[in-house]
């Protein structure tokens, strides 16, 4: 076994990405995640296809197919847990923290549309009333989508407040 076959210590993790370009590292993350998820689907005896892509600075892996609701779970909780496990599998093999995004059955894509609308409605309410609007607690992914929607609206801005799992977006008047 060579030195490269072992997990690099944390202090050496900065040198590992130098061997791969940013894009190549993201493709490697997607490949590792895809292999991990394929094994998981086999163990769970669930049919699904794995799609991998790179969007910006993040590897994106999707499990597509029918009957995947159990892998999403209530309010996407199982999906969030599977994403974290998949990120850990990537870190174990690369030694580099992963920002990989996992979607299952289109849940995140559909949720992104819903959250953008929630952000737009909250911005409109703040512009109309001049009063801040506090939204329900959300996951980091959900808050990011809402913050992006608010950032696109003139005359309002947003902040996050609270502590997980009760962290929420607050929409405020002014830019």
Write down the residue that tokens 């870190």 correspond to: 91
Contact yes or no for 164/101 (Cβ under 8 A): no
Identify the burial level of 93 via C-beta atoms within 10 angstroms of its C-beta, where 0-12 means exposed, 13-18 middle and 19 or more buried: middle
Q: What are phi and psi of 39, to 5 degrees?
A: -65, -40
- Does 99 share its domain with 141? no
Q: Angle formed by the axes of helices 140-151 and 107-129, to 10°?
A: 50
Average pLDDT over residues 42-68: 94
Residue-wise pLDDT tens digits, 2-53: 334 333 333 333 434 445 678 899 999 999 999 999 999 999 999 999 999 9
- Does 12 share its domain with 67? yes
- Does 39 share its domain with 118? no
Going across the sheet that includes 58-64, the strands are: 49-55, 58-64, 101-104
- Does 167 share its domain with 89? no
- Does 48 share its domain with 129? no
Q: Quote the number of domains for the chain.
A: 2
- Does 41 share its domain with 8? yes
How do strand 168-173 and strand 133-137 relate by DSSP bridges? antiparallel
For residue 78, what is the domain's CATH number? 3.30.300.20
Q: What are phi and psi of 76, to 5 degrees?
A: 75, 15
Residue-wise pLDDT tens digits, 96-138: 999 999 999 999 999 999 999 999 999 999 999 999 999 999 9
Last residue of a domain, one of 83, 105, 127: 105
Last residue of a domain, one of 61, 79, 105: 105
Contacts of 65 (CB under 8 A, 6+ apart): 47, 48, 49, 105
- Does 113 share its domain with 70? no
For residue 161, what is the domain's CATH number? 3.30.1370.50
Last residue of a domain, one of 49, 76, 105: 105
Q: What are phi and psi of 97, to 5 degrees?
A: -60, 135
- Does 93 share its domain with 118? no
- Does 63 share its domain with 50? yes
Give the model's pLDDT for residue 11.
Answer: 38
Element (H, E) at 140: helix 140-151
Range of the domain at 153: 109-173
- Does 164 share its domain with 120? yes
What 8-state DSSP symbol labels residue 120? H
pTM assigned to the model = 0.78
Write down the residue that tokens 């992104």 correspond to: 112
- Does 115 share its domain with 161? yes
- Does 20 share its domain with 51? yes
Residue-wise pLDDT tens digits, 145-164: 999 999 999 999 999 999 99
């Amino acid at each position: 076994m060579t030195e490269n076959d072992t997990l690099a210590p944390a202090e050496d993790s900065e040198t590992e990405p130098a061997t791969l370009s940013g894009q190549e590292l993201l493709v490697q993350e997607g490949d590792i995640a895809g292999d991990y998820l394929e094994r998981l689907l086999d163990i769970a005896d669930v049919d699904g296809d794995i799609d991998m892509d790179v969007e910006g600075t993040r590897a994106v892996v999707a499990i597509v197919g029918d009957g995947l609701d159990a892998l999403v779970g209530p309010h996407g909780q199982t999906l969030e847990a599977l994403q974290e496990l998949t990120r850990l599998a990537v870190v174990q093999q690369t030694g580099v923290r992963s920002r990989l995004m996992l979607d299952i059955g289109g849940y995140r894509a559909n949720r992104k549309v819903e959250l953008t609308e929630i952000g737009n409605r909250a911005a409109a309410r703040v512009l109309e009333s001049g009063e801040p609007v506090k939204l329900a607690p959300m996951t980091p992914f959900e808050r990011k989508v809402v913050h992006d929607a608010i950032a696109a609206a003139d005359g309002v801005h947003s902040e996050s407040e609270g502590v997980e799992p009760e962290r929420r977006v607050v929409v405020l008047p002014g830019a």
